[in-house]
Structure 1
Amino acid sequence: MFTGLVSDVGTIHEISGDDRLRRLAIRSHYDPASIALGASIACSGPCLTAVAVEPAEGGAIFAVDAAAETLARTTVGSWRVGTRINLERSLRIGDELGGHLVTGHVDGLAEIVARESVTGGEGDLGASERFTLRAPGPLAKFIAEKGSVCLDGTSLTVNGVAGDLFSVLLIPHTLLVTTWGERRQGDRLNLEVDLIARYAARLSEARTATGPG
């Protein structure tokens, strides 16, 4: 389980394997002693398992394996050496839940259709950026204004919804410490809808199917 609060930005260091199973070595700033084999790490959304770890200058290089379904249904299949990805360690009991509950199970891919700067008035601390994205049709019903959504492993609040389009606002700090500063129109991002919204919809469907009683 994760919170969607990015704790590091890693870089793809090496890739091996094929479309059935691919191993990705990721350079990070994490202390290698803090990464246990079998640990879960959210890598720009998908929860992947650390299968190897070694010290590296400034941190560690850890390896994860991505199976065929992950490669096909997320952006992992498009990653190349040098790709930067958002990282988050799994939540521990007692940790502060600063974002929202995130499972690391990607539901689909959202596409950025627009990016625009939003500046303030006097005393402005820098431009925020509003991103408008298109959700896959079946997932649009789970995205609500003022609700939570996880995009590329980042917990964000939905600012507005219009059909299958929704918008999020990124403050300068988030743009700086995640990969969002690099995102442009046409980019596709790993999307995980809010866990509570998904279960609420499922319960509603079950009630409708069984009828009143």
Structure 2
Amino acid sequence: MFTGIIEELGIVTSLQKDHENLNITVKANFTSALKIDQSVAHNGVCLTVVSIVDDTYTVTAIKETLDKTNLQALALGAVVNLERGMKLADRLDGHIVQGHIDQTAICTAIEETGGSWSFTFEYDPNLSNITIEKGSITVNGVSLTVVNSKKNHFSVAIIPYTYEHTNFSTFEVGTVVNLEFDVIGKYVKRITELN
């Protein structure tokens, strides 16, 4: 479990194919605090640490993960949002995030609005995911509040701190991002579909 509060930005230093899997090596300041088998969210995707060498660690993404996320498009030097699993005794500063990506979306608009930024994302509505006005959404692992919720798109407002401390500063129109919709909303939607 995660909170959607990004701890730091990591740099991809190696990408190695292994059959249909991809071994991703990341350089991060918190590497020395990691251990094998620990979960780390990468752009919101929960992956298991399989190797640690100096200030880098490696995780493996399987085909299912690559098919459903933007990790398949990673390149050497890419900047990824990182968050370690939450501790039960910590405050939940974001919202409940599982690290299980529901689908990707495309950034369709970026607007600077007097010291903050508005980002709009469009997603495939055929996968039955929903947003609600002022509800929670996770974009590339960042816990955010939905603004302007529509059937297949929504916007989020980004404060300067978030812009500077996440990979939102690298987004352009056309950037593909990972979405994890609010887990409570997913359960409510499923229950209403069954009745």
TM-score, scaled to structure 1: 0.88
The answer as to whether partners of 1:129 and 1:169 remain within 8 angstroms in 2 is yes
Counterpart in the other structure of 1:211: none
The answer as to whether partners of 1:2 and 1:89 remain within 8 angstroms in 2 is yes
The answer as to whether partners of 1:10 and 1:26 remain within 8 angstroms in 2 is yes
Percent identity between the aligned chains? 33
Q: Is residue 63 of structure 2 the alignment partner of residue 75 of structure 1? A: no
* TM-superposition CA deviations, 1:107-133 (whole Å, max 9, x none): 0001111000101xxxxxxx2110111
Shift of 1:36: 1.2
Q: Is residue 194 of structure 2 the alignment partner of residue 199 of structure 1? A: no
Q: Is residue 81 of structure 2 the alignment partner of residue 86 of structure 1? A: yes
Counterpart in the other structure of 2:47: 48
* TM-superposition CA deviations, 1:38-97 (whole Å, max 9, x none): 000000011000001122xxxx20100111111111111110110000000001111110
The answer as to whether partners of 2:41 and 2:85 remain within 8 angstroms in 1 is yes
Runs of 5+ consecutive residues of structure 1 not aligned to the other structure = 120-126, 208-213
* The structure with more radius of gyration: 1
Counterpart in the other structure of 1:61: 56
Q: What is the SS of the residue equivalent to 2:164?
A: helix
Q: What is the SS of the residue equivalent to 2:143?
A: strand
* TM-superposition CA deviations, 1:98-151 (whole Å, max 9, x none): 0000000000001111000101xxxxxxx2110111122135652001000000
The answer as to whether partners of 2:129 and 2:181 remain within 8 angstroms in 1 is no
The answer as to whether partners of 2:80 and 2:167 remain within 8 angstroms in 1 is yes
Q: Displaced runs of 4+ in structure 1, greater than 4 A?
A: none
Provide the C-alpha distance between the structure 1 equivalents of 2:19 and 2:69, rounded to a whole number of angstroms.
13
Q: What is the SS of the residue equivalent to 2:154?
A: strand
